[in-house]
Chains A and B, each alone.
Chain A
Amino acid sequence: DTEVTQTPKHLVMGMTNKKSLKCEQHMGHRAMYWYKQKAKKPPELMFVYSYEKLSINESVPSRFSPECPNSSLLNLHLHALQPEDSALYLCASSQPTRGGTGELFFGEGSRLTVL
């Protein structure tokens, strides 16, 4: 069983809709991540929160808006998406270490389809 929980597992939305993806972890990790994964590709980093502050934004379009309400929760707000944004969105968490990211724990993902 994954210790990072993502909801919903599947989401279909139109280009004018507003929706949110949610992620929760109770491992006490202080870094949380959003990744985007297209079929047959590795995950691509979108955002990193470290100690509830946005640490990395990989030049993601503003139609994706992350939010970290507390150390256990991470949201990704979606608005005016394009069909090419259809993908698997993965949340991950880790305990930051001096040696790098430390081990990342991934959720099972939210599969997004934009019509």
Chain B
Amino acid sequence: TQLLEQSPQFLSIQEGENLTVYCNSSSVFSSLQWYRQEPGEGPVLLVTVVTGGEVKKLKRLTFQFGDARKDSSLHITAAQPGDTGLYLCAYSGGMVNTGNQFYFGTGTSLTVIP
């Protein structure tokens, strides 16, 4: 069962455009994480959101955690070719005593065309 659904699955935009990608679920999470994965590489953590309604900014990237902690969004302003990659949201399925294995969403593959 896929708990995290991401949309859109694929997105191709011109350099300089803005975009938003979504991570949705019917479940409530204590936190969500966003990763970016470039072709041929492992995922790299971008941000962890913890509080309902929380907004975090990382340069041109803005992350928001839904008030009910069931969903999250990532907005990129003035996209650059370097933003190209697979954007993954994830939650930690581990309990305090059993580690922090992560469960990932389906991913959004972003291509920014120069």
Q: Is this pair of chains taken from one and the same complex?
A: no
Task: Point out residues on B near A: beta carbons under 8 Å.
Answer: none
Task: Point out residues on A near B: beta carbons under 8 Å.
Answer: none
